[in-house]
């Protein structure tokens, strides 16, 4: 995402970067939920996860031009990532009517939203931007409006997955600071910018991990003891809003 913004730091580019981040986050957290249902070394999970890595890698390579010449490549690759997620969920739901109903509900928003990104790849602006906005509205809005009945969450695994991805993202941001400054003269302006960038990363880390002495899985576990519905609702809303570590 840093590279996406580096060569054209305009407000339009910022909006596009945020949209890409939102769809990629939604895809990642969907696989986190999938891994929360079954281990990565169980049955078909390993095959599906390895298969999904290929289109996900292609999508990541297409990110710099996801709103330009590689829009169709990004859309098709993203569609495959989301479809494989649903396929594995459907396989896990065999013999489990409650989970199968959950998969059906998810597919009603996931597939249309991913399909809109494929359509965006063949349409010009401003129709392309409209497709992206509609896809995000369907993905996030559909999830928030749908029932969490049938969902299950293992708090320790759920919190660990989301905590690790945040740490990785902050670490990558710090690396990007060093890479970006490596070709510049080390004057006061560059030093100030690097230090401020590090301060932002540190502030995000403190915001996510330092505001509460109680770990996030403790919050989710407490909700499970009081009401399973409230537990899955908390897990859904916190992961979707990209603020899983915030105390509730």
What interhelical angle do 11-37 and 155-181 show, nearest 10? 150
- Say yes or no to pLDDT of 2 above 80: no
Domain end call among 145, 170, 199: 145
Do the domain assignments include residue 18? yes
What interhelical angle do 155-181 and 228-240 show, nearest 10? 10
Q: Do 65 and 100 belong to one domain?
A: yes
CA 82, CA 94: separation in Å to the nearest integer? 19
Q: Do 31 and 113 belong to one domain?
A: yes
At residue 236 the predicted structure's pLDDT band, cuts being 50, 70 and 90, is low
CA 168, CA 37: separation in Å to the nearest integer? 23
Instruction: Give the contacts of 170 (CB within 8 A, at least 6 positions apart).
Output: 201, 204, 205
Do the domain assignments include residue 35? yes
pLDDT of residue 248: 28
Mean pLDDT of 229-238: 56
pLDDT of residue 63: 92
Of the ranges 2-11, 39-48, 119-128, which is most confident?
119-128
At residue 127 the predicted structure's pLDDT band, cuts being 50, 70 and 90, is very high
Domain end call among 102, 117, 145: 145
- Mean pLDDT for all residues in the chain: 79
Q: Do 93 and 163 belong to one domain?
A: no
Q: Do 7 and 129 belong to one domain?
A: yes
Q: Do 111 and 201 belong to one domain?
A: no
Q: Do 10 and 110 belong to one domain?
A: yes
Do the domain assignments include residue 247? no
Do the domain assignments include residue 7? yes
Q: Do 230 and 107 belong to one domain?
A: no
Do the domain assignments include residue 208? yes
Do the domain assignments include residue 245? no
Domain end call among 145, 166, 184: 145
Instruction: Give the contacts of 184 (CB within 8 A, at least 6 positions apart).
Output: 190
Mean pLDDT lowest among 37-51, 99-113, 190-204: 37-51
pLDDT of residue 36: 75
Q: How many domains does the chain have?
A: 2
Q: Do 104 and 185 belong to one domain?
A: no
Q: Do 41 and 18 belong to one domain?
A: yes
Q: Do 83 and 108 belong to one domain?
A: yes
pTM: 0.74
Comparing C-alpha atoms, which of 1, 28, 14 is closest to residue 139? Answer: 28
Q: Do 79 and 52 belong to one domain?
A: yes
At residue 246 the predicted structure's pLDDT band, cuts being 50, 70 and 90, is very low
Q: Do 137 and 161 belong to one domain?
A: no
Do the domain assignments include residue 168? yes
What DSSP assignment string belongs to 103-132?
A: HHHHHHHHHHHHHHHHHHTTSPTTHHHHHH
Instruction: Give the contacts of 130 (CB within 8 A, at least 6 positions apart).
Output: none
**pLDDT tens figures, 77-100:** 999 999 999 998 888 888 788 888
pLDDT above 90 as % of the chain = 31
Do the domain assignments include residue 248? no
**pLDDT tens figures, 207-224:** 666 544 344 544 444 444
| 3-class secondary structure, 27 | helix
Domain span at residue 130 reads 2-145
């Amino acid at each position: 995402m840093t590279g996406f913004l580096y060569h054209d730091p305009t407000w339009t580019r910022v909006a596009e970067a945020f949209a890409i981040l939102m769809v990629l986050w939604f895809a990642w957290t969907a696989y986190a939920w999938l891994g929360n249902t079954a281990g990565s070394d169980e049955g078909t999970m390993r095959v599906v996860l390895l298969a999904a890595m290929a289109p996900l890698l292609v999508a990541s390579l297409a990110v710099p031009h996801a709103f330009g010449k590689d829009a169709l490549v990004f859309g098709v690759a993203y569609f495959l990532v989301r479809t494989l997620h649903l396929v594995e969920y459907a396989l896990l739901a065999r013999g489990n009517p409650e989970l199968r109903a959950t998969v059906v509900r998810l597919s009603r928003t996931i597939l249309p939203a991913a399909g809109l990104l494929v359509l965006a790849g063949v349409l010009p602006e401003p129709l392309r931007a409209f497709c992206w906005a509609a896809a995000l509205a369907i993905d996030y809005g559909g999830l928030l409006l749908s029932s969490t009945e049938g969902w299950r969450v293992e708090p320790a695994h759920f919190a660990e997955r989301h905590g690790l991805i945040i740490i990785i993202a902050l670490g990558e941001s710090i690396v990007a600071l060093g890479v970006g400054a490596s070709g510049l003269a080390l004057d006061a302006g560059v030093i100030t910018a690097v230090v401020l960038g590090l301060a932002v990363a540190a502030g995000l880390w403190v915001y996510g991990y330092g505001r509460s002495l109680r770990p996030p899985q403790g919050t989710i576990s407490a909700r499970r003891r009081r009401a399973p519905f409230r537990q899955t609702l908390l897990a859904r809303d916190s992961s979707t809003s990209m603020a899983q570590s915030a105390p509730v």
